[in-house]
Amino acid sequence: MPQFDSAFYHHQNLKNKHIFHYLILFSLLFFSSPVFGKVSLVASISDIKYIAEQVAGDRADVYGMIRGVDDPHFVMTRPDFLVKLSEADVLCVVGLDLEIGWIPYLQQQSRNMKIQKGQPGYCDTSFGVKILGEPTVMMDRSMGDMHIYGNPHYWNDPINAIQMAQNIKNALTRVDPLNGEYYETNFNSFKKRIIQLTKEEMKKMEPYFGLKVAVFHDQFVYLASRFKFNANLTIEERPGVPPSVRYMDQVIGYMIAEKIKIILIGPYHNPKYAEYVSSKVPGSVVVTLPVSVGALDTTSYEETLRLSLQKIRDAIDKTK
C-alpha cells in the first residue's frame, strides 16, 4: 500500500476548499449582480424615468418608454419597446392598471422572465402609496375608462414621489445588491431634495388654500390634496369618453354658481371641451399643466412641480 504524506494531503485539502469557496463567491457575484455591466432599467413614464435616474446614478442605463407629452392611458407600442424589455433587468411601472392596454402585452412578448410580475426585476412604483379615489360601487365599461384600483395619477404628489423612489431603490438593490449602499445614498439625497421642495411650495400655496378649480380629466386630485385646493369638478362626464353638451352645461352652471374661474387640463388632452366651457363662464381661463417631466419644456420632476403650481397661482391672480 502506498504511504500518503499527511501534511501534503492536508495542504491540498485546504487548497481545494479555498478554490471551492472562491468559485461559490464568484458564482454569487456573477449571477446575482450585473457586475460586468450596468443595470438596464426600463420605465413606463417619464416621471419614473427621471426618479430612477436620480436613484441609479451611473450604475444603470435608464430607458423611458413614453414622453411627458404622451397620454399613458393610450400608447402605441413600438418595436424598440420590445427590444429594451427583452434586455431589461428592471421594469418600473405606475401600476393600478394605468398601463393595462400596453405594458402586459409587451411583458409577455419580451419573453424576459426577470421583469414579470412577482419577479425581482418587476417594480410597481405604487406600492406603499396611499391611493385616492378608490371606487365604492361596482363598475363596468359603460362607466368609461374607470380605474378599479383607484386614481393612478399619484406621482403628482411629491411625497408619493419619495415612495416611488424607495420602490425603485429596492428593485435596483434586488438585482444589483453589490451597489445597494450606493442606491441608498442616492435615494436619501433625492428624498431630502423633495421634502425641501414640498415645504417651499406649500408655503407659496398657503394664500390659495381652499381654492376650487375645474379639471378636464380627474388627474390632479393628488396635487390638490397635497397643496390644499379642490379639483373634484371634471368636464369629462365619464373618463375617456367625450362629454355631452348637456353635461357640460351642468358644469358651466356649477362653475358660475361656485365662482370657479380656472380649468386645468393635461398637455395631451383635446382642449376644445375645456375651451367651450370656459367661453360660457365669464372671466375663466384654461390652464395647461405639464403633468409629467418633459412636457412644457420641463427637464426634472422638481421643475415640473414648480411650474404646475406657479401656473395655478398665476391663473388665480389673473382671474381675481
pLDDT 10s digits, 99-140: 999 999 999 999 999 999 999 999 999 999 999 987 655 555
pTM, whole model, 2 decimals? 0.87
Q: How far apart are CA 112 and CA 42, in angstroms?
A: 12
Q: What is the pLDDT of residue 136?
A: 57
Provide Rg for the chain, Cα atoms: 25
Domain count, the chain: 2
Q: Are residues 45 and 179 in the same domain?
A: yes
Query: Is 117 exposed, middle or buried (CB count within 10 Å of its CB: 0-12, 13-18, 19+)?
Result: exposed
Q: Are residues 304 and 178 in the same domain?
A: no
Which residue, 184, 199, 214, sits at the end of a domain?
Answer: 199
In this predicted structure, the answer to whether residue 34 has a pLDDT above a threshold of 80 is: no
For residue 134, tell me if it sits in a domain: yes
Given a contact cutoff of 8 angstroms between Cβ atoms, the answer to whether 274 and 216 are in contact is yes
What mean pLDDT, rounded, does the chain reach?
Answer: 89
- Residue range of the domain that includes 43: 39-199
Share of the chain above pLDDT 90, in %: 81
Q: How far apart are CA 165 and CA 186, in angstroms?
A: 10
Q: How far apart are CA 310 and CA 162, in angstroms?
A: 21
Which residue, 199, 232, 258, sits at the end of a domain?
Answer: 199
For residue 138, tell me if it sits in a domain: yes
Share of the chain above pLDDT 70, in %: 85
Q: How far apart are CA 71 and CA 202, in angstroms?
A: 28
For residue 48, tell me if it sits in a domain: yes
For residue 66, tell me if it sits in a domain: yes
For residue 281, tell me if it sits in a domain: yes
Contacts of 171 (CB under 8 A, 6+ apart): 90, 92, 120, 121, 122, 123
For residue 27, tell me if it sits in a domain: no
Cell 391672480 belongs to 317
Contacts of 266 (CB under 8 A, 6+ apart): 71, 216, 217, 219, 288, 289, 291, 295
Per-residue pLDDT tens digits for 3-18: 445 544 444 554 454 5
For residue 68, tell me if it sits in a domain: yes
Task: State how far Cα 7 lies from the chain centre.
Answer: 63
Which residue, 199, 214, 245, sits at the end of a domain?
Answer: 199
Grid coordinates of 176: 444589483
DSSP codes, 120-171: TTEEETTTT-------SS---GGG-S--TT----GGGSHHHHHHHHHHHHHH
Q: How far apart are CA 255 and CA 21, in angstroms?
A: 73
Q: Are residues 142 and 223 in the same domain?
A: no
